[in-house]
């Protein structure tokens, strides 16, 4: 891991109002090809939701994150690209940047972009797929998530039964509960469960406008604080448990039903359960059933041949219909 560093003139406020010098440090992560940071960042709508941002002009993924009471900005850019590997530059701004913190934030980036997942088998499927064969050329195939599963679950609950723009507004208003990174547009890190609890049902309903979802969000935060349920332990379970076992854990969460649970399962790197929602039905109707509304069983049958990659196959079939994906395909000469 290479490391470059310099201290900036700015000061950051620490515990008890004590200030410490803002620093900037940079490290790199090597990613095997095929990989495009832009394709991963724009793989679905999470990049529109604080504290994650994508700057298309600068081709930069940004995250406001925290360690204890300190708040940091993490910027990720593509560096050197060879035939085999892409180098990612990870630039961290914040106070008291020691090795442990840099390692912690680098791990967050790896988790968000699922960089440790081997997609060779998925790309083999894509090569003989009528539309997905372009993914390898674009460098697409990885989907973005938030580093914390607590954050992913709350965002998923906000996305139920609303159009996406409305979900983004709910999520961004919840994010405003979190501590501010004062040196860059006053953006917030994602709030801890205890901070959401402190903001209370009044904030969630009257400010964040999450409606009936407030009770589910507060219960998740309460269970997390009590130690009754640790959402972030799901990442540990995902390494050893079957998808069915993980699914049971996810479905036990208030406000998480089959569609959300299957999407969350994908965030944990398990793609063997289809996330069937209104967009799935619309996509399958357009692409597979000649405009006829398909049943759940028909959708399952269509994607069954893709085995443990079925949810990733369906998602990227839909993704390739988006204008951003079409533009990336055009740039790749496809």
Partner DNA sequence: TTCCAGGGGTAGA
Partner DNA sequence: TCTACCCATGGA
Residues 51-70 that bind DNA (CB under 7 A): none
Give dist(CA 93, CA 22) in Å, integer.
7
Q: In whole angstroms, how close is the CB of 45 to DNA at the nearest point? A: 3
Q: In whole angstroms, how close is the CB of 270 to DNA at the nearest point? A: 16
Burial of 128 (0-12, 13-18, 19+ CB in 10 A): exposed
- For DNA, the closer of residues 56 and 121 by Cβ is 56
Residues 30-49 that bind DNA (CB under 7 A): 44-45
The yes or no reply on residue 24 touching DNA (CB under 7 A) is no
β-partners of residue 199 are none
The yes or no reply on residue 255 touching DNA (CB under 7 A) is yes
- DSSP class of 293: P
The yes or no reply on residue 231 touching DNA (CB under 7 A) is no
The yes or no reply on residue 222 touching DNA (CB under 7 A) is no
Q: Which of 26, 223, 254, 300 touches DNA by CB under 7 A?
A: 254
β-partners of residue 90 are 27, 76
- For DNA, the closer of residues 29 and 263 by Cβ is 263
- For DNA, the closer of residues 48 and 232 by Cβ is 48
The yes or no reply on residue 117 touching DNA (CB under 7 A) is no
Q: In whole angstroms, how close is the CB of 89 to DNA at the nearest point? A: 27
Name the one range near DNA by CB under 7 A: 9-17, 83-91, 253-261, 301-309.
253-261
Residues 138-167 that bind DNA (CB under 7 A): 159-167
Q: Is the dihedral of CA 76, 77, 79, 85 positive or negative?
A: positive
Name the phi and psi angles at 70, rounded to 5. Answer: -85, 145
β-partners of residue 112 are none
98 and 286 Cβ atoms separated by less than 8 Å: no
Q: Which of 32, 58, 211, 305 touches DNA by CB under 7 A?
A: 211
* Residues 269-308, mask of contacts with DNA (x by CB under 7 A): --------xxx-----------------------------
CA distances from 327 to 115, 138, 331, 332 (A): 24, 10, 6, 9
DSSP secondary structure string for all residues of 57-107? TTTEEEEEEEETTEEEEEEEEEEEE-SSEEEEEEEEEEES--HHHHHHHHH
Residue numbers of the site for DNA (CB under 7 A)?
44-45, 159-167, 169, 205, 209-212, 216, 251, 253-261, 263, 277-279
């Amino acid at each position: 891991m290479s490391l470059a560093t310099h201290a900036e003139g700015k000061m950051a406020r620490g515990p008890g109002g004590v200030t410490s010098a803002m620093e900037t440090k940079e490290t790199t992560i090597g990613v095997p090809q095929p990989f495009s940071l832009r394709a991963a960042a724009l793989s679905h709508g999470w990049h529109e939701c604080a504290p994650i941002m994508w700057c298309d002009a600068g081709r930069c993924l940004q995250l406001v994150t925290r360690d204890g009471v300190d708040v940091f900005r993490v910027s990720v850019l593509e560096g050197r690209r060879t035939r085999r590997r892409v180098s990612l530059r990870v630039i961290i701004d914040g106070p008291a940047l020691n090795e442990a913190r840099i390692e912690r934030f680098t791990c967050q980036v790896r988790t968000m972009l699922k960089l440790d997942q081997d997609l060779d088998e998925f790309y083999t499927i894509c090569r003989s797929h009528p539309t997905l064969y372009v993914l390898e050329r674009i460098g697409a195939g990885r989907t973005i998530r938030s580093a914390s599963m607590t954050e992913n679950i709350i965002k998923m609950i906000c996305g139920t039964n609303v159009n996406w723009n409305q979900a983004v507004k709910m999520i961004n208003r919840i994010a405003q509960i979190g501590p501010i990174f004062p040196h860059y547009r006053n953006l917030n890190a994602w709030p801890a469960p205890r901070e959401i609890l402190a903001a209370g049902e009044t904030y969630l309903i009257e400010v964040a406008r999450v409606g009936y979802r407030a009770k589910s969000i507060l219960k998740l935060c309460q269970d997390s604080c009590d130690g009754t349920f640790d959402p972030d332990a799901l990442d540990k379970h995902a390494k050893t448990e079957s998808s069915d076992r993980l699914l049971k854990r996810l479905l036990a969460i208030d406000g998480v039903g089959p569609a959300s649970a299957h999407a969350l399962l994908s965030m944990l790197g398990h793609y063997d359960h289809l996330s069937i929602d209104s967009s799935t039905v619309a996509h399958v109707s357009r692409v597979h059933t000649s405009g006829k509304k398909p049943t759940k069983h028909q959708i399952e049958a269509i994607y069954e041949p893709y085995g443990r990659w079925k949810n990733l196959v369906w998602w990227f079939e839909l993704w390739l219909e988006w204008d951003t994906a079409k533009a990336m395909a055009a740039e790749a000469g496809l």
